[in-house]
Amino acid sequence: MNERVTLYIATHKKGLKYFGKSKKCHDLDSLMKYGGSGKYWLRYLNKHGKDITMEILGTYPKEEVKEIALKFSKDNNIVESKEWANLKDEDGLEGGWKKGMTTVYDNIEKRNRQVTVDEYNKYKDVRYIHINRFREISDETRTKISERVKGEGNPMYNKNHTDETKKVISQKNKGKPSPTKGKPMSEETKQKLRVPKSEEHKQKLRGPKSEEHIRKLRLIAKDPKRNAKILQTRRENGNDKVSEETKKKLSVSAKNRPKVICPHCGKEGDKANMIRWHYDNCKNKGQ
Ligand SMILES: [Zn+2]
């Protein structure tokens, strides 16, 4: 069977447009009777009356319709634009509504997305705005809602993602530059970072690292690209010269490092250096 799909544009007397498809209606009369589908569009017709005009974009074989419909959707920006009632791009194929899902504007991710009705109800107006309402509310209200999801108003305030969720987020962000990349740090943030670490934090940092972790750290420290970059940043910031004060500190800590004596040649020195050049590697070994 040669399935055909008709793409049409319905326009309401008040100006709102809807881009749709039909597999059954291929002429203006039947399309007018049909009126179109679409959650928001139907609700709109219910409220403002079915006072519409119809225009046929074309009737296409099922195999070709997807490309044409998507191109039209993108070219006319039917999802974002307030002139259109469409809540998603039309692909001329199946209606994409998933059962139990609803389209909302996500104030944290700053985009439209589908969430379960339960999820929507949970964070209604704090994080999600129902898309039908979102189209109607003013910029002022949007800003207000945006303010509300900051700090304590954020659904994630004082909560942590599960490890599972963290993994998913991490995978999704792999390879993307950090959102703070290239942005100068505020004085406030810098001050926060300057505060000494708590004893608990220090202990955590000192705590045993896994073999895997140590291996990774060694690899990172040896990466020539990374080291060149660090050096360059230091130079740019004028931090490439070690200050007299730092030198003094380094010298003191070097002097305080525990000394060991090589059993083969009797030389005394720093443990790390001695292990590298003496002990089993000592020139005098086996003499
Ligand atoms: Zn030795």
Would 274 be classed as within a structural domain? Answer: yes
Residue 95: what pLDDT? 58
Q: Are residues 68 and 114 in the same domain?
A: no
Do 138 and 108 belong to one domain? yes
State the distance from the centre of ligand 1 to the C-alpha of 259, rounded, in angstroms: 13
Cα 256 to middle of ligand 1, angstroms: 21
pLDDT at 1: 57
Q: What is the pLDDT of residue 174?
A: 78
Residues 48 and 108 in one domain: no
Q: Where are the beta strands (DSSP E) in 79-145?
A: 101-106, 111-116, 128-130
Ion ligand 1 neighbours (CB, 5 A) are 262, 264-265, 278, 282
Evaluate whether residue 159 is within a structural domain.
no
**Are 28 and 63 within one domain?**
yes
In terms of domains, do 8 and 70 share one?
yes
Q: Is residue 23 part of a domain?
A: yes
Mind listing the pLDDT tens digit for each residue in 164-181? 888 878 877 777 777 777
Question: Is the same domain home to 258 and 284?
Answer: yes
What is the model's pLDDT at position 28?
92
Residue 279 DSSP label: G
Q: What is the pLDDT of residue 39?
A: 79
Give the pLDDT confidence score for residue 94 in this predicted structure: 67
- Asked if residue 135 and residue 106 are part of one domain, the reply reads yes
pTM over 0.85: no
Rounded-to-integer distance, Cα 87 and Cα 47, Å: 18
Determine, yes or no, domain membership for 169. no
108 and 133, same structural domain? yes
Chosen domain end from 153, 181, 197: 153
Q: Specify whether 59 is located in the same domain as 13.
A: yes
Cα distance between residue 120 and residue 100, in whole Å: 11
State in Å: Cα 269 to ligand 1 middle. 10
Burial class (CB in 10 A: 0-12, 13-18, 19+), 245: exposed
54 C-alpha vs ligand 1 centroid, how far in Å?
93
Centre of ligand 1 to C-alpha 263, Å, is 7
Based on the fold, state whether residues 70 and 109 are members of the same structural domain. no
Q: Which domain holds residue 216?
A: 207-241
**Does residue 142 lie in a domain region?**
yes
Residues 70 and 12 in one domain: yes
Residues 6+ apart with CB under 8 A from 121: none
* Torsions phi, psi for 103 (to 5 deg): -90, 130
User: How far is the centre of ligand 1, averaged over its atoms, from the C-alpha of 277 (Å)?
Assistant: 7
The reply to whether 81 falls in a domain is no
Ligand 1 centre and the CA of 257: distance in Å?
19
CA of 264 to the centre of ligand 1 (A): 5
In a domain, 92, yes or no: no
DSSP H helical segments within the chain, as ranges? 28-34, 39-48, 62-75, 117-122, 131-134, 139-148, 163-173, 187-194, 199-206, 211-222, 224-236, 244-256, 271-277
| CATH number of the domain bearing residue 20 | 3.40.1440.10
Low-confidence ranges of the chain (pLDDT < 70): 1, 94-99, 135-136, 287
Q: How many domains does the chain have?
A: 4
CA of 109 to the centre of ligand 1 (A): 62
For residue 253, report the distance from its CA to the centre of ligand 1, in Å.
23
Residue 180 lies in a domain: no
